[in-house]
Amino acid sequence: MKNKNNKILTEEINLSSIELDTKTTFEIVNLFSEADKEPQKAVNEAIPEIVKAIDEITLKLKSNGRLFYLGSGTSGRLGVLDASECPPTFCTSPDLVQGIIAGGVDSLTRSSEDLEDLPDLAISNLVDKNFNNKDVLIGITASGRTPYVLSALKYSKNLNALTISISSVPPNESILSSDIDIRLITGPEILAGSTRLKAGTATKMALNIISTTVMIKLGKVFENRMIDVSISNRKLFDRALGILVELGSVSKETGIQLLKKTNGSVKLSLLIALSDLDINKAKYILDKSNGNLRLALTKV
C-alpha cells in the first residue's frame, strides 16, 4: 500500500531503522541481518510465477531463442552479472543469455541513472541485439516505473516475444506490460530508497533460481553436478575431474585420459565411462539426445 505521502513501496521509510545514523555498529548490522530475511520470503511468495517463467523460458531456448535481462542501475548490473556467469558455469554461448544495461559497459562501474529516463534507448538496445519473437525478455525494475524498462517490456510484448517483469512493488502501484509478472515484495529499505539492498538481494536470488533451473532443464546438470562446466583453469579442471571420478566411477588416471580424448567434455566423458561406448558412438547418441546425458543413457 502507498503511504500518506503517496510514495511507492520501495521509497517508503522503514520504521525499524529510524535514526539509523545514531545506532551502534552492532545495532546496524543486526538490523541488516533481520531485514535480509525478507528477500527469502519475497521469493517464496513468487514461486508460482517463477516456476511459470522457468518453464516458458526453457521452451523458448529449446526452440533456438535467447534470454535477455534488461534494466538500469542496480537492476541492470544484476542482470549482466547473472548472464555473464552462464558461460563459465554451464558452457553456454555468450549469446544464449545476455544482459543489457542502460549505458552499456560503462554503467557497470559508473553511475548512469539519468539514462533510465530514456525509453527510446531501450528499444535501440534491443534492436541492436536483433531481439525478436523467438527470444525472451526479463525486464527488471525495482520501482516498477523505470521508463527504460517499461519501454522495453512494451516493445517485447508488441513483438509477441515472451515478456517477463521483475519488480518490488505491488500491482496497485505499477501495471507492467508482461506475460509473467514476478513481484518480489521486500518492503521499505533500511536506507530509504536504496533498492540495491533488500530488493536487489531478492532479485539476485530470483535470477539465480531462474537461470540455474533453466540450465538444469536444458540438460546442463546430471544429478546435482555441473556436467557442462567450462574447463578454463586448473580449479575447473580439478572440478571436472572430480565430477567424472565420482559419477563415472573411474580412477583419476582414467578420468584424465577421458577428458583429453573428449577435449574436456565432462558430459561426453561421463557417457563413455557409464556405457563403455566408443567416442564416436557416444557423440552420436548424445547429439540425438539433444545433449541430455540422462536421456542418452536410456538409449545405450
How far is Cα 180 from Cα 201, in angstroms, rounded to an integer?
20
Residue 65 has pLDDT above 70, yes or no: yes
Among 103-112, 137-146, 166-175, name the one with the lowest average pLDDT: 103-112
Is 19 assigned a catalytic role?
no
Q: What was the pLDDT predicted at 230? A: 77
More confident residue, 251 or 2: 251
Q: Which domains does the chain have, with CATH numbers?
A: 9-217 (3.40.50.10490), 221-298 (1.10.8.1080)
Residue 110 has pLDDT above 90, yes or no: no
User: Catalytic pick from 85, 113, 189, 223?
Assistant: 85
Largest interatomic CA distance in the chain: 71
Among 86-90, 123-127, 280-284, name the one with the lowest average pLDDT: 86-90
Question: Residue 139 pairs with which residues in a beta bridge?
Answer: 70, 165
C-alpha radius of gyration, the chain, whole number: 22
Q: E strands along the chain, which residues?
A: 67-71, 97-101, 136-140, 162-167, 180-183, 221-222, 225-226
Burial of 12 per CB tally in 10 Å (0-12, 13-18, 19+): middle
Whole-model pTM: value is 0.90
Contact of 161 with 153, CB cutoff 8 Å: no
Question: Residue 100 pairs with which residues in a beta bridge?
Answer: 70
Nearest alpha-carbon partner for 139 in 198, 192, 78: 78
* DSSP structural state of residue 97: E
Q: What was the pLDDT predicted at 2? A: 41
| pLDDT tens by residue, 255-290 | 999 999 999 999 999 999 999 899 999 999 999 999
User: Catalytic pick from 11, 38, 49, 116?
Assistant: 116
Is 116 assigned a catalytic role?
yes
Q: What was the pLDDT predicted at 3? A: 43
Q: What was the pLDDT predicted at 6? A: 62
